[in-house]
Amino acid sequence: MTAKISYDDVEVGTELPAQTFPVSRATLVRYAGASGDFNPIHWNEKFAKEVGLPDVIAHGMFTMASAIRVVTDWAGDPGAVTEYGVRFTRPVVVPNDEAGAVIEVGAKVAAKLSEEDRTVRVDLVATSGGQKVLGMSRAVVRLA
């Protein structure tokens, strides 16, 4: 399957549709089960606070995976992402209430890398609670 977006139709500065991803304690439990990461900082409030965190935090890989969905949804094919990397700048704090947390993600095409390979670099911005949670978040995407 190939990306549905054409390299020829994309310009530097093209903004991808922003998305928000709600995160509850139940989300973290499901992710822990799927990933096998049962570190208590992701589910035990008392433990998280004892190690200096403000509360339970989302798994870094969950945050990273949520953010890239903006790119894969835009490209139309998860396989179109050939590279992806981030720096974790702040944790996503997930309170034990009805609201939980929200990860807000925006992205834009930052560079057209190769006409031959039809690749672009997409820079992402992910925030939660008004704070940037991923830094240097970039993906290389092969387009149609």
Query: Per residue in 83-95, pLDDT tens?
Result: 999 999 999 999 9
Domain 7-142 in CATH 3.10.129.10: yes
Mean pLDDT, range 98-124, rounded to an integer: 97
Under 8 Å CB-to-CB from 30, ≥6 apart: which residues?
none
Provide the pLDDT for residue 2. Answer: 60
Domains of the chain, by residue range, sit at 7-142
In this prediction, residue 1 carries a pLDDT of: 58
Give the pLDDT of residue 4: 86
Mean of pLDDT over the chain? 96
pLDDT for 104: 98
- Distance of CA 27 to CAs 59, 76, 96, Å? 10, 25, 12
Q: What is the mean pLDDT of residues 59-65?
A: 98
Cα R_g (the chain), whole angstroms: 17
pLDDT tens per residue, range 7-45: 999 999 999 999 999 999 999 999 999 999 999 999 999
